[in-house]
Amino acid sequence: MTRFIYSLTLLLLAPLIAFYLYHIRGKKNPGYKAHFSQRFGTVSSHLPQEAIIIHCASVGEVLAAAPLIKKIQCQHTAHPIIISTNTPTGRAEINKQFKESVHTCYLPIDLGFATRRFIKRLKPKLLVVLETELWPNLFHYANQVQCPVAIINARLSDKSLRGYQKFSSLSKSIMDNITVLASHNDEDAKRFIKLGLKQNKVITTGSIKFDVTLSNREIEQLKLLKSQLGDRPIWIAGSTHPGEHDQIIEVHKQLLEKTPTALLVIAPRHPEQFNPVAALLTESGLNFSRRSGEFDANNPVLLADTLGELKFLYGCADIAFVGGSLIERGGHNPLEAAASSIGVLSGPSTYNFSHIYPQLIAANGAQICSDKNELFQQLSLYLHDNTAAKKLGQNAHTCLASNQGAINRTLDVIDSLLEQ
């Protein structure tokens, strides 16, 4: 499949993509309707030329990349930074993390005319893309203006490898347009090489997600929250999705039968789920407080209806469940819990973090629960055995600490590209 056929196919699908983003996603989150022309390559006049463009697909990537981006800001003050994203929540997190110190925009859909306009107008000094956002037209037009393309924190599962191999000609074109790729581990590196990436373009740096830490401000916020919640058994369900919310609520109702003082902190993954989860809690008969409002210590549930707080919210609990895993979603980042020495429970679907969970499990810092019944059993154990819960959390943190350093190694890669 050539890039021409890919581009033509995408062009034919463009009306459906636009309808989906504006009307379907926009109905759930009006932020999708804002700055909509940027999806098709319109470039805001305030965006600077010859910037470092760093693409973070959504909130998770923004949070993971934030420490790296701040180091780039310190070391390369002469170069403005544009952080692009795909989602309104990603854009909101960029504004929260960096205020006016960076520029932000939506990355255009990978239509030929859109990405050509985007790259031709901005003439970036360097294009940095997190993880596996592999866009044929974006990379092609970046190369046309002699802009290096760096893929960092890169990962590629066996399943994704097989998918790309079905379109080997297009995949080879993508690989040819990558200047350097910093992979999570040697296995990921080998998969990219199988797709046609030259071996001298690959370096193994580890995952920057292991370099997660709490800022002084987050530590102070955590201390304040702990004082409000009091001394009681607490578990947190972070980054939960529809299909999981009701299971989490059911598990907590079971826990309350054995431990009436137990508190559930539930943090839906997407803000458009805050009110639906509130409705589910009301329907279940459980009283709850909202993080955005006043906390009532008599309530058995705290709904975390705020953005960007999950990393320190994990630290208020005795044990954490990481969502997107009781449904076939692939899971979310367990290392945010590990950063606060909180042990991790997960459902069986963890393929998005297949490079992290095996290490956490081997270190006895995380456990996989096959379903909600096993989740209930493990929660019952850890909420009644504080020593076991602390040990699980300490093991998780030890695993995290032993894998840190990827940010500095990745920064060396970026430095070398900017010095060329």
> Which residues are designated catalytic?
61
Measure the CA–CA gap between 174 and 323, rounded to whole angstroms: 32
Residue type, 365: G
Radius of gyration of the chain (CA): 22
- Residue 286: how many other CB atoms lie within 10 Å: 16
Report the b/e string of 135-147 with b at 16+ CB within 10 A: bbbbbbbbbeeeb
Looking only at the bridges linking them, the beta strands covering 202-204 and 366-368 are: unpaired
What would the DSSP string read from start to end of 317-378? Answer: SSEEEESSTTTTT----THHHHTTT--EEE-S--GGGTTTHHHHHHTTSEEE-SSHHHHHHH
User: How far apart are the C-alpha atoms of 163 and 160, rounded to whole Å?
Assistant: 5
336 within 8 A of 238, measured Cβ to Cβ: yes
Q: What are phi and psi of 186, to 5 degrees?
A: -65, -35
**How many other CB atoms are found less than 10 A from the CB of residue 55?**
22
**One-letter amino acid of 75:** Q
Whole-angstrom CA distances from 139 to 5, 49, 119, 175 are: 16, 17, 10, 9
Residue 121: partners with Cβ closer than 8 Å, 6 or more residues away: 43, 47, 49
Distance CA 251, CA 261 (A): 14
CB atoms within 10 A of CB 359: 18
